[in-house]
Amino acid sequence: MRNGLISIGVVVLLFLFGAGCSSVAETGEQTAPSPDDRIQQTLERELHAAVLDRLHLLDQTVLSAAAHAAAVGLDDPSTHEVLANVTDTFSDCVIDVITIDADGRITGVYPPEFASAIGSDISAQPHIRVLLDQKKPVLSGMIRTVEGVDAAVLAYPVLHPDGTIAGGISALFSPAGLIDGAVNSFEMTAPFRALVITVDGLILYSPDEEEIGEVLFSDPGYALFVDVERFMTRIGVEERGSATVGLSGVQKQIIWDTVLLHGTDWRLLVIKEC
């Protein structure tokens, strides 16, 4: 994989002068949005809605599986069928779904080709500790699986009737696969492209698969550009915004928004080179 994102020069303000990128005068006055500005803003709204819908559907599917397990027990044969339903519903992104006990040991897994994992102790994993100790659902950060896949975990606790922890249900999924399904639900063509990153700049989704798993602007050469440092600082703390980053005479106009689930933020970017 390449370091950084060579094709990203980030967010200009949302306003363009003619065919060029927009700017804001020192007086604070802004030009009226151009047709491209309006298209970019519409694409950002569509991207946000599509990603949020898919992520919430996955969340509700795992929640339903956990509720079923709480009602009948983690070891009930029907719980295995519920795990299968999660992977079948999200076959484009879910890698596997597991049940764990109160000690953080894997007690069941689907699909069955991963059955060798049963009995493994995963209690030390940070997201599993949140699940077991705080009895809260969790969306993890990115992890690299033993198969070399960049993935995240969405998990829900399973409680006994008295409220004590019985274990949990955890779905390992590819954010890139989930987001790709969202992006493909509407039309986004050149000169616009979508990118999804973590607040730390890790690329979760890009049309260029080689960029996925890399850190945005991590190539040492980007340290020469003041715009890059400013942008990375802003996007780490601002849930939405716009900016322009110039790289070797090329500017890229970017607007971004945020999807938040269980305390984890994803930044959704729509980029236009100008």
Per-domain residue ranges of the chain: 35-52+187-273, 53-176
**Structure-block tokens of residue 200:** 């730390």
The fold for domain 35-52+187-273 equals Beta-Lactamase (3.30.450)
pLDDT tens series, the chain, 274 aa: 444 443 333 333 222 223 345 432 223 345 677 888 899 999 999 999 999 999 999 999 999 999 999 999 999 999 999 999 999 999 999 999 999 999 999 999 999 999 999 999 999 999 999 999 999 999 999 988 766 778 999 999 999 999 999 999 999 999 999 999 999 999 988 899 999 999 999 999 999 999 999 998 888 777 777 888 889 999 999 999 999 887 767 788 999 999 999 999 999 999 998 7
Give the Å distances, CA to CA, from 173 to 24, 99, 153, 178, 194.
41, 15, 6, 8, 20
Q: Which residues of 220-245 are buried (b: 16+ CB within 10 A; e: fewer)?
A: eebeebebbeebbeebeeeeebbbbb
Domain 53-176 architecture:
2-Layer Sandwich (3.30)
Residue 29 burial class via C-beta count within 10 angstroms: exposed 0-12, middle 13-18, buried 19 and up: exposed
Instruction: Return the pLDDT at 177.
Output: 96
Residues contacting residue 79 through CB under 8 Å, at least 6 positions apart: 65, 68, 69, 72, 73, 99, 108
Q: For the whole model, what pTM was predicted?
A: 0.86
Q: How many Å apart are CA 60 and CA 252, to the nearest integer?
A: 36
Rounded-to-10 torsion of CA 91, 45, 137, 67: -60
Tell me what pLDDT residue 5 has: 40
What pLDDT score was predicted for residue 274? 76
Q: How confident is the model at residue 127, as a pLDDT?
A: 95
Sheet holding 250-261, edge to edge: 203-205, 192-198, 264-273, 250-261, 241-247
In this structure, how many other beta carbons lie within 10 angstroms of the beta carbon of residue 30?
Answer: 13
Q: Give, in degrees to the nearest 5, the angle at Cα 271 between 269 and 274.
A: 160
d(CA 25, CA 171): 49
What is the pLDDT, as a whole number, of residue 149? 78
Rounded distance, CA 233 to CA 217, Å?
12
pLDDT at 146: 64
Contact 248, 225 (CB under 8 A): no
DSSP state of 93: T
